[in-house]
Amino acid sequence: MAMTRDTKHLDAPAHTRGESIYLDDIPLISGTLFGVAFGSPIAHGNIRELHLNEAIQCPDVIRIFTYKDIPGENQIGGIIPDEPLFAETHVHYCGMPIAFVVATSEAAARHAVSKIKVDIDPLPVVTDPREAQANNDLIVPPRTFRLGDTTAAWQDCVHIIEATTETNGQEHLYIETQGSYALPQENQAIRVYSSTQAPTATQRVISKITGLAMHAIDVEVTRLGGGFGGKEDQANAWAAMCALACRHLRAPVKYSLPRTDDMVFTGKRHPYSADFKLGLDADQKIRAYEVTFYQNAGAAADLSPAVLERTLFHCTNTYYIPNVRATAYSCRTHLPPNTAFRGFGGPQGMFVIEAAIAKAAETLDIPAIEIQRANLICSGDEFPYGQKAVSEAHACWQKAETLYDIDTLQEEIGEFNAKHRLSKKGLAFMPICFGISFTKTLLNQARALVHVYTDGSVSLSTGAVEMGQGVNSKMIQVAATVFSIDPTLVRIQATSTQRIANTSPSAASATADLNGKAVEMACTAILQRLRSVAAAELQANPESITFLDGLVHIDGIPTVLHWKQLIMAAYIRRVSLSEHSHYATPQIHFDYTKEKGHPFAYHVYGTAIVIVTLDCLRGRYTVDAVKLVHDAGASMNPTIDRGQIEGGVVQGIGWMTMEEVVYDEKGRLRSNTLSAYKVPDIYSAPAEIALEFLHTDHDNLAVFRSKAVGEPPLMYGIGAYFALRNAILAFNPTAQIPFDAPLTPEKALMGLYQKQPTHVAG
Ligand code: LUZ
Ligand code: MOS
C-alpha cells in the first residue's frame, strides 16, 4: 500500500467529543489519597526549622513527607546530580519543594500546606545570569565553538557591529498541568501514571528516590495535554513524590498541580543575555562573528547543559560564516531550574545572529533581507561544529520570494506607510535551519514492539509519547504502510516502560523519526516471515510475493490470499507474529574535546515572511500574515505537519512579542497567573498563515523520506520581532531600540516615542 498521507489526526474524534484520556480522566481507585507539595517561600537561604505540627493536626491529613522519608537517594538531577527532591538544609529557589502533604482530599492537603511554617535564614538572591557569571557560579564549565580565525578576520571587515541582546523566558503553558498518580502493586512494585515526555527518566528517578529496582516501577502514559519540553525533565518530581508516598502508605496517591503551583514550581525556557560582534565585507558578506551567551539556568542543572550546547549549534542559524567564535556560559541563579522548551536553546541562539544582521542593516541603511540572502548557507559549507550542510536554505528562500511576490509585498507596505501617519507596517524574513537528532548521541535510539493477533489486528507499542503532536497517527501510518493494510487494523498502545524499555524522551523533534524507524524495522521483519508463509501456501517463489491493499500478490498479480487468512496460516505453521526491534541513528557522532563532529542526521530548513501592522498611537499591533515555505521532506502527513507548523509559529510569536515572564529581585514569580501572563489567543494569532511545503526527497535517515516537524516552526516567530522593529523604525527612523524580547506593546510604544538612545537593561 502506498502511504496514505492524508490521514487525519487519530485523536481528533475523541478530542472533539471530550473522550480522550488524560491523567485527570483516569478513574480513581477507592482509597486514593491526594498530595500537595509545600514549596519554599523564599528563593535562597538556610533552613533553620520546619514546623509541621499544626499541619499534621489538620483534619484528614494522613502524613507529611520530607527528605527524611526517602529510602533511596534524595536526588532527581538528570544530567548532573545537583537537585534534591526535597530541600534538606538549604533552599535555592522560590517554590523549591520542602515537604509533601498527603490527605484524603486535595482540599484537606492544600489546607494543611497553608499551615506549614519554615524558618529560613535568607542569603543573597541572584537572578541575573551576568551577575552569576561574574561570581563564577556556573553549572558547567563554559564551552566555545570555533571556525576559522575571527581575530584575523576583523581586518577583512569593512563594517563591524556590536551590541547586547536579551531574550526572556517562556512559560510552557501546556493545557494539562503536571501531575502523577501512583498505585501500589504486589511485592512492593508501583504503577505510575504520569504526564511525562520521558517515561524512562520518570521511572529512573522514582527508582532512585524509593530505592526500588527499575523493574519494580512501571510508568505508563496514554497522552499528554501538551509538553513543549516542560515535561521532558520536570514531570519526574511529582511522580517521585506520589511514588514515595505510595511506597510508605501502600495506598494510591495522586498529585495534579493547579495552574499557579505549576507556574511557580516549574522552570521555563531559559532567558539569555548575549554580546555579539559581527563583521561584514564590502559585499555584505559576513566575514566574522563573535558571540558570548549568558544562559540563565536557574538553581540546578536540569537540562541546561544540553540546552546550552544547542544554542551554540544554532548560533549561526542558516548562514555560512567562515570565522566564528561562540562562547556560552550556563549561569546558576536563584530561579526554578529552567528546562527544555521547543527549540531547546536554538531559538535563543538564532535571535542573536538575526539581531546582529538587523543592526548591520540599520547601520548600513540597507534592508536586512539583502544581508540575509547574501549569506545563506550552501551545500558543502561547514557549520561551526564541523558538519557540512546539505542545504535547502536557498531553495526555501527563493520559493518564498517568488511564490509570495516579495516585490509587490514591499511596494504595498511602502505605499501603506506613506499614506498612514499613525499606523505602520513592517516586514521581516525569518529563515531557519534546525538540526535533527538529540545532540547527546546516545539518546538517538528507539524500540518498537509489534504483535499481530490471529484475527489480523495489530498491536503497536513504541517509546513515543503522544502529546498532541500526532506521533501516534504517524506510527500507525508506518505500520499500515509496511503491512499494506488498512490503518484501522492497527491499534497503538499507551506508552509503557513494561512494553518498551530505556526510552529516550519524546523530544528533539526526533520522536517520529526514531520510533517510526523502529516500527518500520519490526513490521518489515514480520512481513519477511509472512512472505515465506505466503510462498508456501501458494507454492510460489518467495521473491515473487508482494503485499498490496491487504492481498498477497504474485509477480504483481493479486491472489485470493488476504491478510487475515495469511496471519492464521502463519499461526498454524507456528511462525512468530511478534517482533521487538531496535533502531539507532547511524552516522552521527560528536567529539566534545574538539567541539567538532556530525551531530545531526540532517537539518530542517524554511523561510517565513512576517508582516505586522503597528498602531503608532498605542503601541498595539497585529501580525497580519506569516507566509511560509517549509522543508518537510516528503511529509508523511501534511495535515498533522500543518498543525505543528501553525502552532509553532504562534508559540514563537508569543515568546517574541507578548509573553513576559517576570521574577522580582527576590526571585518570586510575578507573572504567576494567566491574567498576569499573556499568551497568544485567537485575536493575536496571525490573520493569515500561508504554508507551502518544499518537497525534498533525500534519504535523510527519517521515516519514508519525511523530515521532523516539531520544533523548527517555532523559530519563524522570531520574524515577528524584527517585523515590529521595522514598523517602529518606519515611524521613528532614529529610534535606538534595544534588542530586548519580548517586544511588548509597552516597549513598542517606548520605541515609537523614543528621543534619546536608551540602554539595554540588565
Ligand atoms: N532534548 C535533549 C532535546 O535531551 N537533547 C536535545 O538535543 C534536544 N533537542 C531539542 C529538544 N529537546
Ligand atoms: Mo523538547 S524542547 O522536549 O523537544
Residue (of 677, 706, 445) closest to 581 by Cα position = 445
**Percentages helix, strand, coil for the chain, rounded to the nearest 5?**
35, 25, 40
Mean local confidence (pLDDT), 652-667: 98
CA of 43 relative to ligand 2 center, distance in Å = 27
Q: Which residues contact 579 (CB under 8 A, 6 or more apart)?
A: 449, 450, 522, 523, 525, 526
pLDDT over threshold 50, residue 218: yes
Element containing residue 308 per DSSP (H, E): helix 304-313
If one residue of 313, 432, 439 were mutated to test the ligand 1 pocket, choosing by the most ligand atoms within 8 A of its CB, it would be 439
Instruction: Report which bound ligand comes closest to the CA of 79.
Output: 1
Q: Which ligand is nearest to the CA of 434?
A: 1
Report the pLDDT averaged over residues 282-296.
Answer: 98
Helices 236-249 and 199-210: crossing angle, nearest 10°?
A: 40
Mean predicted confidence (pLDDT) in 494-515: 98
* pLDDT score for 32: 98
Show the beta-strand stretches assigned E in 168-271. Answer: 179-184, 190-194, 217-221, 253-256
561 CA distance to ligand 1 middle (Å): 46
Q: Residue 176 catalytic?
A: no
- The one-letter code for the residue type at 450 is V
> How far is it, in rounded angstroms, from Cα 476 to Cα 204?
28
- Nearest-atom number in ligand 1 for the CA of 309 is 7
CA-nearest residue for atom 5, ligand 1, is: 438
For ligand 1, atom 8, name the residue with the nearest CA: 508
Q: Which of 74-78, 563-567, 688-692, 752-756 is the least confident region? A: 752-756
Confidence of residue 698 (pLDDT cuts 50, 70, 90): confident
Instruction: Quote the strand ranges of 12-95, DSSP E.
Output: 33-39, 45-51, 61-65, 90-91
Residue nearest to atom 4 of ligand 2 (CA): 507
* pLDDT surpassing 80 at residue 761: no
- What lies within 8 Å, CB to CB, of 84 at 6+ separation is 67, 74, 75, 76
For ligand 1, whether the C-beta of 590 sits within 6 Å is no
**Which listed ligand is nearest to 714 at the C-alpha?**
2
Pocket test for ligand 1, best of 443, 711, 715 (most atoms within 8 A of CB): 443
Tell me which residue of 235, 231, 226 sits closest to 182, measured CA to CA: 235
Atom 11 of ligand 1 has which residue's CA nearest to it? 508
How do beta strands 688-695 and 621-633 pair? parallel
Please state whether 276 falls in left (phi above 0), alpha (psi between -120 and 50) or beta. Answer: beta
CA neighbor of 292 nearest in space, from 279, 273, 270, 308: 273
256 touches ligand 2 (CB under 6 Å)? no
Task: Please say if the pLDDT value at position 330 is more than 90.
Answer: yes
Mean pLDDT of the 493-505 span: 98
1, pLDDT greater than 60? no
Give the CA distances from residue 332 to residues 127, 329, 342, in Å, rounded to whole numbers and listed in that order. Answer: 9, 9, 21
Residue type, 243: A
Burial class (CB in 10 A: 0-12, 13-18, 19+), 344: buried
Q: Ligand 1 atom 2: the closest Cα is on which residue?
A: 438
Cβ–ligand 1 contact at 79 (below 6 Å): no
In whole angstroms, give the CA distance from residue 526 to residue 755. Answer: 72
Closest CA to 518 of 479, 492, 467, 565: 479
pLDDT at residue 692, as a whole number: 98
pLDDT level of residue 760 (50, 70, 90 thresholds): low
Whole-number pLDDT of residue 479: 97
Question: Distances in Å between the alpha carbon of 726 and those of 191, 353, 733?
Answer: 54, 17, 9
The pLDDT value given to residue 700: 80
3-state secondary structure 402-464: HHCCHHHHHHHHHHHHHHCCCEEEEEEEEEEEEEECCCCHHHCEEEEEEEECCCCCEEEEECC
Which of 252-261, 521-530, 659-668, 698-707 is predicted least confidently? 698-707
pTM of the model: 0.97
Chain Cα centroid distance, residue 364: 36
Beta carbon of 507 within 6 Å of any ligand 2 atom: yes
Q: Is the dihedral of CA 179, 310, 433, 677 positive or negative?
A: positive
Question: Measured in angstroms, how far is the CA atom of residue 562 from the centroid of ligand 2?
Answer: 42
Q: Is the pLDDT of residue 88 over 90?
A: yes
What is the average pLDDT across 504-531?
98
Q: How many whole angstroms from 590 Cα to the centroid of ligand 1? A: 15
Identify any residues that bridge with 694 across adjacent strands, giving them in sequence order.
631
Give yes or no for a contact between 335 and 663, defined as CB atoms under 8 angstroms apart: yes
Alpha carbons 175 and 98: distance in angstroms, whole number: 26
pLDDT at 204 over 80: yes
Q: Which atom of ligand 2 is nearest to the CA of 505?
A: 3
70 Cα to the center of ligand 2, angstroms? 30
Q: How far apart are CA 652 and CA 269, in angstroms?
A: 12
Q: Sign of the CA dihedral 531, 535, 541, 546?
A: negative
Helix (H) or strand (E) segment spanning residue 274 = strand 272-280
Point out the ligand 2 atom lying closest to the alpha carbon of residue 509: 4
pLDDT tens digits, residue range 104-160? 999 999 999 999 999 999 999 999 999 999 999 999 999 999 999 999 999 999 999
Q: Is the CB of 614 under 6 A from ligand 1?
A: no
Distance of CA 88 to the CA centre of its chain: 31
Q: What is the pLDDT of residue 762?
A: 39
**Mean per-residue pLDDT over the chain, rounded:** 97
Q: Which ligand is nearest to the CA of 270?
A: 2
- CA distance between the termini of the chain: 59
* Average pLDDT, integer, range 166-185: 98
Residue found under cell 491574567: 675
Looking at residue 637, its pLDDT comes to 95
241 in ligand 1 pocket by Cβ < 6 Å?
A: no
C-beta of 440 in contact with ligand 1 (< 6 A): yes
* Span from the CA of 508 to the centroid of ligand 1 (angstroms): 4
C-alpha cell at 67: 527528605
Whole-number pLDDT of residue 66: 98
Annotated catalytic residue within 106, 660, 711, 746:
711
- Residue 310 CA: nearest ligand 1 atom is 7
Q: Find the 553 Cα to ligand 1 centroid distance in Å.
A: 43
**Closest residue to atom 6 of ligand 1, CA basis:** 438
Position 701 confidence tier, pLDDT thresholds 50, 70, 90 = confident
Assign 8 a pLDDT band (cuts: 50, 70, 90).
confident
Q: Determine whether the shortest distance from the Cβ of 33 to ligand 2 is under 6 A.
A: no
**Ligand 2 centroid from CA 467, angstroms:** 11
Is the distance from the beta carbon of residue 197 to the nearest atom of ligand 2 less than 6 Å?
yes
> Mind giving me the DSSP string for 225-255?
S--TTTTTSTTHHHHHHHHHHHHHH-S-EEE
- CB of 341 within 6 A of ligand 2: the answer is yes
